[in-house]
Structure 1
Amino acid sequence: MIREWVPLAQFHTESDFCYGCFLIRSDDLAAERFGEVRSFTMFTE
């Protein structure tokens, strides 16, 4: 089974080259398992 990641929030940083986001798997979101949220740094370049 493939578990799909869903974005919960995205936020800007002081850098022009990256931003942060919080992701959760769709089945964890459906089951309200918010302890499974992960934070990631995304790069724009």
Structure 2
Amino acid sequence: MAERLEVLKTYKTYVNGKFPRSESEKVYQIADKKGRHIANACRC
């Protein structure tokens, strides 16, 4: 049997009955202490 791959879960934000879209540029980047990008967060 083949070895299983680890798959990271992608969490979705649901605000006021809608999923905010990153294409609308209503997001900001979150970085770790070393300045590496780790996530995008919506400006809700």
TM over 0.5: no
Q: Which has more strand, going by share of residues?
A: 1
Q: Which has more helix, going by share of residues?
A: 1
TM-score, normalising length from structure 1? 0.26
